[in-house]
Structures are given as C-alpha cells and as structure tokens.
Structure 1
Amino acid sequence: MYLRSIHAETHIPALRQFIRANPLGEIITTINLPSYPLIQLSHVPFILDVENESDEKELGTLRGHMARANPQSKAMIEELTNTGSRTEDGSSGFLEREVMVLFNSSAHHYITPKFYKETKPSTAKVVPTWNYSAVQAYGKARIYFDSKSPVTDAYLDKQVAELSEMCERNIMGYDKPWETKDAPEKYLDIMKKAIIGVQIDITSLGGKAKMSQESTKGDREGVIEGFEAIGTDLAKEIAETVRAKSNGKK
C-alpha cells in the first residue's frame, strides 16, 4: 500500500478500531505449488484479539475460518502436508511465508473535479481521484486443518461461536443474538468438518485514509459541500470523514 505521510494512519488503537468496524478482510497468500495459482485471495470475516487493550503498541491476533473446499485452503493444507511443518499435536501448522490481510471501509467514493471550488476556477489544473480508507495487516498464519483433532475442534467451536456473537451484536444490533447452540449439534459437527481455522499473529499493521487531505482548504470544502448536496447516507459519511480528516489542515 502506498502510504503518503499525509494519508498514513499509524496509531495502533485507531487501526484496531478500524478492523473491528470493518471485519471482512481479504486474506492474501503466496504459496508456490504447481496445482494452484501462486497468489490467492479470499474474503474472510475476522475477530481481532488483543490481550491488553491499554497497550497502544500491541498489534494483536486475527482469528477466522475458511471453507475447506476453497482452493486457497487446499493450497495451505498441501503446503503444510508437504513440508511437515505441523505443531506437535498434529492439529495445525504454520505457513512458511507471511500472509497479508486487507480491510476496507465501505465509505469510499469517486471524487469529481467539479467539487474543487478553489483550484478548478483559478487554474483548471485538477483531475479526478478516489477517496477511501484501508488497513493492511501482515503476519504469521497458523492453519487448523486436521478435522479429527480435538485441538482443531476446540478452536473452531470458539471461533464460530465468538464470530457469530460479534456479528449478531455489533453488526445486526440484536440484544438476543442467534447462537451456535441454537443449531443441532450434529449439524454443527458436519459444518465444522467443512472448514479450517486461520489464526494470524500480526507482525506489521498500517493504515491509510485518503480523504482529500492533499487538497487545498477551499477544495476540501467543495468536496464536503458536494457530498452533502448528494444527500445519501454514503455521501454524508464521506463528507463527515473528509471534514474530520481536514481538522488542522490549511
């Protein structure tokens, strides 16, 4: 990710908050096997675990799961089988190369030069751009793939239950959320055999909020006014974010 200093977000608590507000990540792996593409990507909702929330330097751990039938999952399992890099209990293994997970905000939008009320009338030296926010996490991935292992079973029990709880409460807003125990136990056992667990210890975390900070004060005001005039929920969110990021800018 290209991180100009004016757009870069380095405050770890803010990056954690972004991930939790936008938990659907894109996990990217590079696994060199003849049967699969070198680079693969899947959309995976993640839980971010942080042992000490008050520690502003702790990066945390991402927990998720993927369909076992996913070609990316198959490539992971084949690599771990070929290299023998499993844990002592045989339930899981660590991928040789680091993985990346990209989290994107739903608040992104095309920026028309017509919004620039300062530069466009004076010089016309303006071009379109796109405003967006994203966070990228790099880390070491542990894959729980042995469906017969009680360790894998325990990981998936915890992962699926806590992910459902998080989404039901934080995304859907339910006071009485759906719980995994609401489904038949035998059905859940079948479903668990069809997935693998993914746990990523984050080693690097960075973010970007490109929200017109590079523009002049007048042009930023034009962007805000332009989106406020559109009036949709997305446009209002973009306007508010540009205004927030403009604080302290000239």
Structure 2
Amino acid sequence: MTYLPKHFEETDPAILHALVQANPLATWVVPQQGELLVNHIPLLLDADRGEHGTLIGHVARANPVWQALADAASVAIFQGPQAYVSPSWYPSKQVHGKVVPTWNYAVVHAHGVARCFDDRERLRALVTRLTAVHESPRAQPWQVADAPADYLDSMLSAIVGIEIPVQRWVGKWKVSQNRAKDDRLGVAQGLEELGTAQADAMALLVRNL
C-alpha cells in the first residue's frame, strides 16, 4: 500500500498516462519467495488494451524475474518531476517561522499481474514498436530492419517479452497542495531560480494547481 493523503492523490487517467509516457523507465517490483525482485526496464503503455491499459516491455532471458511471475501481483513505478523544497521559499517563514524542508514529487504506480511471452514474431513486433517510439524524435531514426537479420535473430533469442495488464493505477502528486497560495508561489519561484530541468518541471506542476 502507498501512503496517500487525499490532497496528494491524482486519479485523472490522462495525467497518469502522460507521466508514464514521458518517463518510461519503470522500477518494476515482483515478489519471489519472501523477497522482492527489483528491475529497471522501459515500459510502453498500450492504453487501449484492457480496462486500464497494458504495459509492455522485455527483459534479458538470463534475468530470473520472468520465471518468478507465477500469477503474483507486481507494481511498476514511474518517477516524474521531483525536487527539494527549501522552507526559505515560504513567505510564511518571515511571519511565524513554523516551516520545515520537504520534497515534492510526482509518481505513478501501475499494479498488475505480469505475464511473459517468447514467441519470435511477437518479440519482433514488440522491439519494432519500442524502437519506433523512442527513435521518433531523431532526424534519421534507427530501425530494427537496419540490423543484420542473423544478428537480430540472436538478439531476439536473448530476451523475453513482458506484459502487465494494469489492474489499478495510483498517482501521487505531492506538489505543495498543502501550502497557502503565497507559499506555493514562493516554491515555484524558488524552483525556477535553480534553473534545472527537474526544478522547472516541478515549478510548473506547482503553478498549475
């Protein structure tokens, strides 16, 4: 379970999906015999498959995680913008001083029972789709067909496909909702003055409350 105060909860599927699509590298946690297997793999969201969408990706065949699924619940965690928040940014600090540091972040948890597949044509279609998505910003995108056929076959033999039909989404947007408006504006300004991509992204979330 996730500690999730109501004012930090995000339930809009479009917002959750957007974070997943912008931050596809998931921390995927699978239980096995009293332990937790933790892997970091890029997952693509197929929003139209299943009631809540389906996540798809692949792991190395040498990775034991695909043999440990056995109908066990798993969770894929997607990390969005995050930033330290200094209490010096709150105007209320000058009024009463009752402020402390905190950390803002936006995360999505996708819960579901994963399953694996190793059908060669499905794997080829999967890596083709993943490649097309991630190469799309490039002026001259690399394509799966660019690799020699025998080399590609050997690479496909070394992976196992993973799909996770999502049973439940959990979104936590801790972006200063619990502060007064003046404090929120102070946080946004403080973040923007840092001039980093993460801080700018978090500042935008705070300003859009």
Does residue 98 (structure 1) correspond to residue 73 (structure 2)? The answer is yes
Q: Distance in 2 between matches of 1:144 and 1:216?
A: 50
2:126 is equivalent to residue 159 of structure 1: yes
Q: Following TM superposition, by how much is the alpha carbon of 1:185 offset from its aligned partner in structure 2, in angstroms? A: 1.0
CA shift for structure 1 position 233: 3.0
Instruction: Give the Cα–Cα distance (whole angstroms) in 1 for the partners of residues 114 and 65 of structure 2.
Output: 13
Question: What is the distance in 2 between the residues matched to 1:243 and 1:16?
Answer: 21
More strand per residue: 2
TM-score (norm 1): 0.78
Pair 1:14 & 2:15 matched: yes
Which residue type is aligned with residue 129 of structure 1? T
Which TM-score applies when normalising by structure 2? 0.92
Q: Does 1:137 align with 2:129?
A: no
Matched, 1:4 2:10: no
On the 8 A contact 1:12/1:58 being kept in 2, the answer is no
Asked if the contact 2:192–2:199 (Cα under 8 Å) also holds between the matched residues in 1, the reply is: yes
Contact 1:49–1:63 (CA<8 Å) still a contact in 2?
Answer: yes
Answer yes or no: is 1:60 the counterpart of 2:53.
yes
Q: In structure 1, which of residues 216, 219, 226 is the aligned counterpart of residue 190 of structure 2?
A: 226
Matched residue type, 1:17? A
Report the CA distance between 1:206 and its aligned residue.
1.6
Q: Does 1:45 align with 2:38?
A: no
Q: Which amino acid aligns with 2:146?
A: D
Instruction: Tell me how far apart the structure 2 counterparts of residues 124 and 237 of structure 1 sit (CA, whole Å).
Output: 27
- Name the counterpart of 2:167: 203
Distance across 2 between alignment mates of 1:204 and 1:233:
30
What residue number does 1:79 align with?
A: none
Give the CA deviation at 1:238. 2.0
Give the residue type in structure 2 aligned to 1:99.
S
Q: CA deviation at 1:72?
A: 2.6
- One-letter code aligned to 1:98: A
Q: CA offsets per residue over residues 69-115 of structure 1, 9 Å max, x none?
A: 22434544xxxxxxxxxxxxxxxxxx22111111111x211111111
- Unaligned runs of 5+ residues in structure 1 are 77-94, 146-151, 246-250
- CA RMSD in angstroms comes to 1.8
| Number of matched pairs | 208
How far the C-alpha of 1:18 sits from its partner, in A, is 1.6
- What is the CA–CA distance in structure 1 between the aligned matches of 2:166 and 2:3, rounded to whole Å? 20
Q: Give 5+ residue unaligned stretches, structure 2.
A: none
Identity %: 38
